[in-house]
Every structure is written in C-alpha cells, then in structure tokens.
Amino acid sequence: MAKITFIGAGSMVFAKNLIGDILSFEALEDSTLALMDIDEQRLAQTTAVAEALVENGDVGATIESTTDRREALEGADYVLNMINVGGTEPFENEIRIPERYGVEQAIGDTLGPGGIFRGLRTIPTMLEIAADMEAVCPDALLLNYTNPMAIVCWVMFEATDIETVGLCHSVPHTVDAIAEYIDVPSDELEYWVAGINHMAWFLECTWQGEDVYPQLQEALKDEGTYEKDTVRFELLDHFGAFVTESSHHNSEYHPYFRTDSESIEQLAGTNYAGRMPTATYLEGWLERSEERDNAHAEFDPEDVSIERSEEYASRLIHSLETGTPRRLNLNVDNEAGHIQNLRSDACVEVPCLVDGTGVHPCSVGTLPPQLAALNRTNVNVQRLAVKGALEGNRDAIHQAVTLDPLTAATLSLEEIHEMTEELLEANDAYLPDFS
C-alpha cells in the first residue's frame, strides 16, 4: 500500500483532518502514514490523534512518527507539506513592521510584505525537502499546502526535479459561499474556475443548467448579503467575476481596499466584524498556538472518528491509486500554457483531471483581459520574490515589495525601500543570503 508522508505534522488539527480524509477511503485505509515534525510535543499530539483514528475506525493503517525528515521520506509515494518555518518572531515582524509604515495587512501569508517574506523564510527549507526527496523518494508526488502557495510551488517547479502540485480549499469554500448567497444547494453547482491561488475566477457557474451570475448580481444589491462578503462583491461589481478566497484575504491583494482605517472599517460589514482589521491572522494564530500547546492534556481518544473534509489531498491520492477519475482545481506550472495570457513560468490554479495515469491540467485558453490583468499584478510580485530567493538578489526583493499593489498604493518609493530594508534586517536569521 501507499506510503504517505506528512511534513509539518505538528499542525495537529489540519493533519488530523487530512489523516481522517485518507482513512475514510477503503482503498487507502491500509496505507502507511509517516508523521514528521521538528516539534516533539506537537508531533506526539498528532501521533496520538492518528493512532486513535486508526483504532476507533478499525482500519489497518500503520502510523510512523519521527523528527527525522529523511527517515519519514524514505520510500514515500506521496508527501504532504504543511510546514511553518520560523515561528512567531518573523511572523510578527512581517505584519507589525509594515503596519508601522501604514501597510495594514489582515493575513499576510500570500502577497504583500508578509507573503513575500513568509515565502523567503520558507524557500530554503523547501529546497532541503526537495533534496531529501530526490535522494530517497524521487518519484514521490509533493502535495503542497504551505503558503504563500504560488511562491512556494514556483520555486519547486523552477529549482527542483520533484513533481509538485499545490492544494488549497478556496475553490470549494467559495462554492459554498456562492450557494449561500443565491440560496441553492452547493453540491448542485457546476463551475469552471481558473487564475492564480487565492485569486482564481469563476469563469462559469451554473445551477440546473442556468447561469447563476444574474442571481449573484442581484445578491450584491441586498445590503445584508453584500456585507457578508464586501470585497468579493465589489470585485464582482467592477470586474465582472466572482473570485476565490475570502474578502479579508482579497482585501490585501489589490490597491483599492486597505489604504486607510476608515476604508478597512467599512469593509468589515456585519459578517466580517472583527476579522478585517490589521493582524487578524497573526493574532488568531498566536491564540491557536497557545491552545495547541495544551491540546494533549485535553485530547480524548474516544471523541476522535474518521470523517471526510472538503480538502483535495485524499481525493487526489485516491484517484491516482485506484484510477477513479476526478476533476480538482490544483496549482500547477503554466509551462504548457494552460492559461495563455499569463506567464508560462507562473504558478496557476486550473481545473485538473486526475486518474490512474496522473494529474492532467486542463487548457483554459485566455482569461478575460481585466481578470488576467489583476492576476498579473500578483504574478509580477511572485516572479521577483522567487528570483530574489533563488539568486540571492536583494534588489529583486526590493522590487517585489515595491510592485505589491497594496504597498504601492500606500507608501512612497523611499518609504517602501526603508521598510524592506528593515524587514530584511529584522528577519535576517530566517532568510536566504542576499548580496
């Protein structure tokens, strides 16, 4: 049976969901699950949960647990990556230093100064993982969940020989949101979605054969519905398409929404009250981190049961192992021109057909020009961040931050340069060497 390795398994809740997903398939329930993390306490927590899932579900999976990455990777068929490199200090720097300059990020894990520097501190470890995989499991498929998704995957495409796909739940979550806004069952929606991670576009969306966009246009006119998803409804209104990822994520990928405190407060609406302000994700992450540190004492093995979430990983592995055909939205290399009006070296998120023969990205053709233009504003930043990391090019990092849409809308060139230098200095211990 398949060996499935989890790198960063100390992310207990997420790892539990993915393990439960895998064990929910009869064809995968005898797999070997190798759990690896550098944090012994959190690894022990996840291992205990995994063993309880196996016992309570009466399945034949083998659970292995180690802090040795190469040992966990030895002979793996699939590698699930969910690492967080550096912990609290660099994360706080990535949010709080830009905040002092006026760049107010809600999340800071995908684009902006936070996303760029999160990528920079993650890339050296990703290259080490790739080197280990090339040595002990060169044919394994890497399933990446770590953000910034596009930057991390782009590095793997460009600098390694490891087959990599990026997985994100933003498409199924957005399907649920659309279904709620137009009051139809989410499992009855048909859709065709493409773009980049966290900014992919519902190019088609139908219910019972009818286009739902007229209903979405009506929904945004309803104040109560509009306030549930202010940024995404504004993008729909002005650019003509509904986008993946939430409003608090998308608010920081564009130059229109977070340039002053009054605008940020207005964006919150009723549903996002308390979630749109600066450092939302950082503060929540710190709180969850404290809870995770105490989770083992509160863990009750009898309460753990195998359930299947909306995450793609188990479905992808099941299709590859059994030949069951599925279509999933995945992050892949655009070398073959899946989206013709985005860069050929970009990481794009497109529908992919998956079966026993592999992962086959679909050809989308060209995006509507206004949607491709919005994607390019983010792809430009990603390209320079990857270049800076792989070449040790300090100027490229400065240029990446300077081209970030939110930063450019908020600060002068000199202020951006000063902020970037401060970030480079503050997080020097976690970053590649820059010339």
Q: What are phi and psi of 68, to 5 degrees?
A: -95, 110
Please determine, for residue 288, whether its predicted confidence score (pLDDT) is greater than 90: no
Q: Is residue 70 part of a domain?
A: yes
Which domain range does residue 147 map to? 3-166
Q: Is residue 52 part of a domain?
A: yes
Please determine, for residue 253, whether its predicted confidence score (pLDDT) is greater than 70: yes
pTM of this structure: 0.95
Please report which helix (H) or strand (E) contains residue 34, including its range. Answer: strand 32-36
Please determine, for residue 293, whether its predicted confidence score (pLDDT) is greater than 70: no
From CA 194, how far away is CA 43, in angstroms rounded? Answer: 36
pLDDT of residue 301: 74
Largest CA distance in the chain: 62
Please determine, for residue 334, whether its predicted confidence score (pLDDT) is greater than 50: yes
From CA 357, how far away is CA 339, in angstroms rounded? Answer: 22
**Distance set, CA 153 to CA 147, 381, 418 (Å):** 9, 14, 29
Q: pLDDT category, 271, cuts 50, 70, 90? A: low
Q: What is the average pLDDT across 345-365?
A: 98
Q: Is residue 211 part of a domain?
A: no
Q: Is residue 76 part of a domain?
A: yes
Amino acid at residue number 321: E
Q: What is the average pLDDT across 95-111?
A: 96
Q: Is residue 10 part of a domain?
A: yes
The domain total for the chain is 1
Do residues 258 and 264 make contact, with C-beta atoms less than 8 angstroms apart? yes
Please determine, for residue 273, whether its predicted confidence score (pLDDT) is greater than 50: no
Q: What is the CATH number of the domain that holds 59?
A: 3.40.50.720
Please determine, for residue 272, whether its predicted confidence score (pLDDT) is greater than 70: no
Known catalytic membership, residue 249? no
Q: What is the average pLDDT across 19-25?
A: 96
pLDDT of residue 355: 98
Pick the catalytic residue from 169, 173, 296, 417.
Answer: 169
Interval 158-194: pLDDT, tens: 999 999 999 999 999 999 999 999 999 999 999 999 9
Query: Which residues, 6+ apart, have CB-to-CB distance to 116 below 8 Å?
Result: 148, 151, 381, 385, 397, 400, 401, 404
Please determine, for residue 370, whether its predicted confidence score (pLDDT) is greater than 50: yes
151 is written with which tokens?
Answer: 């930057």
From CA 69, how far away is CA 10, in angstroms rounded? Answer: 13
The chain-wide mean pLDDT, for the chain, equals 94
Q: pLDDT category, 275, cuts 50, 70, 90? A: low
Is the backbone peptide bond immediately before 432 cis, with ω within 30 degrees of 0? no
From CA 71, how far away is CA 8, in angstroms rounded? Answer: 14
Q: What is the average pLDDT across 360-380?
A: 98
Grouping H, G, I as helix, E, B as strand and the rest as coil, residue 328 is strand
CA geometry: angle at 159 spanning 397 and 5, to 5°?
Answer: 110
Q: pLDDT category, 291, cuts 50, 70, 90? A: low
**Distance set, CA 130 to CA 110, 317, 387 (Å):** 21, 20, 18
Percent of the chain with pLDDT over 90: 86
Core vs surface per residue 11-45: b (16+ CB within 10 A) or e: bbebbbbbbbbbbbbeebbebbbbbbbebeebbbb
Q: Is residue 338 part of a domain?
A: no
Do residues 112 and 51 make contact, with C-beta atoms less than 8 angstroms apart? no
From CA 324, how far away is CA 354, in angstroms rounded? Answer: 8
Please determine, for residue 20, whether its predicted confidence score (pLDDT) is greater than 90: yes
250 is written with which tokens?
Answer: 């998308």
From CA 171, how far away is CA 246, in angstroms rounded? Answer: 10
Interval 34-83: pLDDT, tens: 999 999 999 999 999 999 999 999 999 999 999 999 999 999 999 999 99
pLDDT of residue 267: 77
Please determine, for residue 395, whether its predicted confidence score (pLDDT) is greater than 80: yes
Query: Which residues, 6+ apart, have CB-to-CB distance to 428 below 8 Å?
Result: none
Q: Where are the alpha helices (DSSP H) in 339-393?
A: 369-391
Q: Is residue 214 part of a domain?
A: no
From CA 435, how far away is CA 419, in angstroms rounded? Answer: 18
Q: What single DSSP character describes residue 315?
A: H
Interval 204-235: pLDDT, tens: 999 999 999 999 999 999 999 999 999 999 99
Q: Is residue 377 part of a domain?
A: no
pLDDT of residue 434: 87
Q: What single DSSP character describes residue 145?
A: -
